[in-house]
Amino acid sequence: MLGYVNTYHTKCKFTVDVHQSTMFSNRITSVNPSGVREIFELVGGDAINLGLGEPDFEPPKVAKEALKSALDMGMNKYGPTIGLRPLRESVASYLGRYCEGIISSNVVITSGATEALLVISQSLYNPGDEVLIPEPGFVLYHPHAVLAGAKPITYGLSEESGFEPDIDEIQEKITGKTKAIVVNSPSNPTGGVISRETFNALAEIASDNGIYIISDEVYDNYIYEGEHFSFCEHLDNAIVVNSFSKSMATTGWRIGYLVTNDEAVKQISKMHYYTIACPPTPIQYAVNIAMPHMMEFLEEIVPVFDSRRKKMVSMLNEIPGFKCDLPKGSIFAFPSYDMDIPSMELAKAIASQGVITSPGIAFGTRGEGHLRFSYAASEEDIEKGLMIVKDVVETLC
């Protein structure tokens, strides 16, 4: 008979020793937690959050009602690995605004853009491959390359160039080991938007060198100046990632998609299956019902973000030593500052006074000397939060 342990009056304590720490893979111990999350953990729930990239709107009513209906209709079973065909058809139709010829077989529905980017990296990169990633750049690109055994090679986005990729630098960094160039426009964290000239140059580099463009276009509908150019135009050697998190304010629903050529869909779908089996059925149903109303929803909320963008940048430029140009897209401002203090320490000092920001170093070495602010917050919170930031900076100065 197995021994019985009475745990009613026993408190279990677990410790981690050196042996246990070596039990984990080199792949996972080689990456660090996101520096953005470190700040969140320092403050309470009543802090003013100017750090999170999450629209402060509810999803369209039609989407919420459709989700309730899906549950009541029994749409709670497994679905196709690449997603429900009606939703894939709707996505293909939506992308017709950028280019012709996309059909449902080019679309894979994913659990958000995060899962899409992960399965792409696992499907495309081999150990020893090199992947060009933007810096400052979104926190996923570097660790996804490392987790696949590839080597991330950064290319710079500078304030002076409006945070557009430097084509000459990218060309210089292309080698025989280069597998892909990661592009993000509109950019998180900078708010930069690539021009048609830069877009064409990137497409030409990829074609000439037989490499892929991995294009993160999650903020394609958040353009205030200029125009969005989608690499859907070049699916022979491009994979486009997008999400409904920003376009429908459904961040917690974890639903997005990738678009690419038939062979890439075939290969990526295998990793997609072994990652999640299939995307959530009721949520797919709800999003598909809501898609005809998505642009109407965006027409209501994007002008609100535009107003907040202008207010935030105006107030940031009133803070001693801060400099911030109007971002052309996304929901972020990325000011530089001239204080002799690391961005993580500055973000912590601000957090200690109840305001969450994101340290520039979380987005790569070239993000140092910057903070990321999100204007996905009410104008009242923006005004109150930035006044606290100003007080902190003036005190430190």
CB–CB of 312/373 below 8 Å?
Answer: yes
DSSP 300-362: HHHHHHHHHHHHHHHHHTTSTTEE-PPPSBSSEE--EE-SSS-HHHHHHHHHTTTEE-EEGGG
pLDDT tens by residue, 289-328: 999 999 999 999 999 999 999 999 999 999 999 999 999 9
DSSP 204-262: HHHHHHT-EEEEE-TTTT-BSSS----GGGGTTSEEEEEEHHHHSS-GGG--EEEE--H
Q: What is the pLDDT of residue 9?
A: 45
Q: What are the structural domains, with CATH classification, of the chain?
A: 31-58+295-396 (3.90.1150.10), 77-293 (3.40.640.10)
Q: What is the pLDDT of residue 34?
A: 75
End-to-end CA, the chain: 70
pTM of the model: 0.92
Residue numbers of the chain with a pLDDT score lower than 50: 1-10, 14
Q: What is the pLDDT of residue 17?
A: 55
The residue written with tokens 């100003």 in the block is 390
Q: What is the pLDDT of residue 53?
A: 85
Q: Is 372 helix (H, G, I), strand (E, B) or coil?
A: strand
Helices 379-396 and 343-351, interaxial angle, to 10°? Answer: 120
The residue written with tokens 């279990």 in the block is 12
Q: What is the pLDDT of residue 33?
A: 78
Q: What is the pLDDT of residue 11?
A: 52
Q: What is the pLDDT of residue 397?
A: 84
Q: What is the pLDDT of residue 22?
A: 75
Q: Which residues of 23-56 are buried (b: 16+ CB within 10 A; e: fewer)?
A: eeeeeeeeeeeebbebbeeebeeebbbbbbbbbb
